[in-house]
Amino acid sequence: MSNSYGKVYLVGSGPGDPELLTLKARRLIDNAKVIVYDQLPGKAILDSMPETAEKIDAGKFAGDHRLTQTAINELLVAKAKEGHDVVRLKGGDPYLFGRGGEEAEVLVKEGIEFEIIPGISAAVAVPAYAGIPVTHREHASMVTFLTGHEDPTKEETGLDWKYLASSPGTLVIFMGVKMLRRNMEELLKNGKEAATPVALIERGTRPDQRVTVGTIADIADIAEKVGVKAPAITVVGDVVNVHQILGTQKV
């Protein structure tokens, strides 16, 4: 690696509660000179970025993509080649539907040193805050994470809906609000029971978190009625029933 280049830190900020930031993530944010950030970390964490840092909003939130992924890659490379250490701040964990792997590959190709700082993933933390354990001895012995909104440029889906519908475990769907109805229809069409419980958790782990519960058959209608909006995690499976017991607990 060239000593004249800066280093890029791919930092996961967790699901939104600032107290769920790792110590390492907090230290890097506090000492950062350049931060390229998404919106998913949430207002509390974004407001905590140092005033002295150069802050670049990369968007990447609910259809508001201020910069394309290619432009973000080029920005990280350019800033590092100018000699700056860069914090690339992402929600959740950078390598779980965070496109961190793609950014890391570009950095390696350009000869730029990088470090991954894992974050607590929304996949488990958001359901937990809603009183939903994604695994439970009486309800689910496996869990599958999937994207609810695939890359629209892909010629074929990367999701095996027949397999997903037959899974006896929990399904945790990222970025699934816009395509909720279609995704539920795919599960039904491939044999999933219509009465399977579903929870939509908006703004998980944050003060304004909201949980909407239904079934595969009716959750899309319920979501439209109450106005569910991204960011939200969708949980499908019997573990959702535990919300009735644990969802009243304050965290």
Of the residues 60, 79, 90, 192, only one is catalytic, namely 60
- Is the pLDDT at 17 greater than 70? The verdict is yes
Q: Quick one: pLDDT at residue 233?
A: 97
Torsion angles phi and psi, residue 122, rounded to 5: -60, -20
For the chain, where are the E strands, in sequence order? 8-12, 34-37, 54-57, 86-90, 114-117, 143-147, 170-174, 197-202, 210-215, 232-236
Q: Could you confirm whether 38 is annotated as catalytic?
A: yes
What pLDDT digit, counting tens, does each position of 149-158 carry? 765 455 556 8
- DSSP for residue 138: T
User: How many percent of the chain have pLDDT more than 90?
Assistant: 88
- Strand-pair category, 114-117 with 8-12: parallel
Q: What is the set of domains in the chain, with CATH numbers?
A: 8-117 (3.40.1010.10), 122-246 (3.30.950.10)
Of the residues 38, 93, 179, 184, only one is catalytic, namely 38
What pLDDT digit, counting tens, does each position of 66-89 carry? 789 999 999 999 999 999 999 999
3-state secondary structure of 237: coil
Of the residues 17, 90, 93, 175, only one is catalytic, namely 175
- State the CB neighbour count (10 A cutoff) for residue 153: 5
Q: Could you confirm whether 160 is annotated as catalytic?
A: no
